[in-house]
Structure 1
Amino acid sequence: MKYNHIDVIGLGPGHPDYILPAGLKKIKEADVLIAGERNLEGISTSGKEVLIIRNNLKQLIEYINKNYHDKKIGVLVSGDPGYHSMLSYIKKNTQGIEVRVTPGISSFTYFFSKLSLVWQDAVLSSVHGEDTDFIKLVEENKKVFFLTDQKITPNYMANELMKKGITHKRFFIGERLSYADEKISCLSVDEAAQYPADSLCVVVIADE
């Protein structure tokens, strides 16, 4: 059978329980799964070709461009493909290939649900590998969600806010979201400045 597309499938916040049924169906139908090693936890790969995402995006794109006609390829991404995922990179570098997207539960919808907070009044942002003026965002908005990374951590952000005299905020930090060892902390700016959060976590900074 010849194919004319690839699938980009959102996995939700982490645990397989939060993968939507449509995503599970796409995963089951795929001949090839391309994913980060952590994203394959709890997913059956029996009988499938598996390619692990590391520092090899160029090679993976070459593989997709060469094989998409003959193999049903599924690219698995954390959260929702439309929010800070590989989707833009894939679409840019697979010109002429139809990219079909299966949504997933995003980290921010999951986290706000766990906090019992609405998010229609929140600003959604990321400091994960991006040059984001998070101080300005926090100053100008009452509720901001951030994806973090190993450099711009919650304690780094809190220390930078304290330098600017911004102490009237609360930090909600989510680690290992959806897993059995999930941890959610509500801290003052001063407490967050001392908190050793997981290297990849999410944070909501909101007015007290």
Structure 2
Amino acid sequence: MDKITIVGCGPGDAKFMTQAGVTAASQADFLIGNKRLLELINGAKGEKIDTGVNIEKTVECIGRKRKEGKVALLVSGDPGLFSISRQVTQKFGYKACHVIPGISSIQLAFAKLGISWDDALIISAHAADPEVDEALAAQNRKIAVLLGRNESVKWIDGFIKRIGGDRGLFVCENLGLENERFFETTADKIGALDLASRTIVLLIDKELVN
């Protein structure tokens, strides 16, 4: 049985996909992922299967189709960062998977500012109540928060007030796409913003960006 290939597709525009990822997806018998990612692969010989963002449905589909041929799972960003690839490797085992990295939205966000991110604190606010050590966060000079839902804006508003500090706030919305927005805002305004689910907010010590 062939390995499951997990392809990091970047932020959602074909120009950010790696050649290795495109080649692997094009050679698969079955391409599994959401509609937006499937549309990135042109001329693929395999059957495209839209499983949306339903993790359980996706894992079940992989289990069935890998018995019939080569499977490529398309995931947004990089498979190693808040990705469904975690559930897939846990289900089938890492030896059954071949992971092809992709460009993450975190990389793009920090690239906008031209600063490194290897020492940044990365927080996913997709959950209703993110588990964050706020005392530790208050000491960090670089924080990236992935929103993912409407309630995340309210959460980050309170989070910013609780950790304090003199920080620049940068909103990175739909990075890499045609409707991309990147702008600086302030702590007193962020709670009123209407932001897309594909948004990252960077909280950066002002000494690093002045």
* TM-score after normalising by structure 2: 0.86
Cα distance in 1, alignment partners of residues 15 and 53 from structure 2: 28
* AA of the residue aligned to 1:145: A
Instruction: Name the residue aligned to 1:174.
Output: 172
- 1:54-83 CA distance string (max 9 Å, x none): 364334333322331431100000111011
Alpha-carbon deviations, 1:82-131, whole Å to 9, x = none?
Answer: 11101110012224861000010111111111221211231122112262
Q: What RMSD over aligned residues (CA atoms) do the two structures have, in Å?
A: 2.4
Match of 1:133 in 2: 132
Percent of paired sites with the same residue: 26
Could you tell me which runs of 5 or more consecutive residues in structure 1 were left unpaired when the two chains were aligned: none
1:90 & 1:48 partners in 2: Cα distance? Answer: 20
Distance 1:97 1:67 in 2: 18
Give the match for residue 48 of structure 2: 50
Question: Residue 120 of structure 2 corresponds to which residue in structure 1?
Answer: 122
Mark the CA change 1:196 to 1:64 in structure 2 (over 3 Å): closer, same or farther: closer
TM-score (norm 1): 0.86
Secondary structure at 1:190 match in 2: coil
Mapping for residues 129-168 of structure 1, pairs under 5 Å? 129=127, 131-133=130-132, 135-154=134-153, 156-162=155-161, 164=162, 166=164, 168=166
| Equivalent AA in structure 1 for residue 193 of structure 2 | Y
Distance 1:165 1:145 in 2: 14
User: In the aligned structure 2, how far is the partner of 1:55 from the partner of 1:121?
Assistant: 30
What amino acid is the match of 2:181?
K
Cα separation, 2, equivalents of 1:57 and 1:75:
12
**Kindly tell me: are residues 117 and 22 of structure 1, through their superposed partners in 2, closer, same or farther at Cα, counting changes over 3 Å?**
same
Unaligned runs of 5+ in 2: none
Inter-CA distance 168–193: structure 2 relative to 1 (3 Å threshold) = farther
Q: Separation in 2 of the partners of 1:194 and 1:167? A: 20
- Does the CA contact (< 8 Å) of 1:155 and 1:197 recur in 2? no
In structure 2, what is the equivalent of residue 185 of structure 1? 183
Deviations 1:16-72 (A, max 9, x none): 100001001011101111111222233226543122223643343333223314311
What SS does structure 2 have at the residue aligned with 1:133?
coil
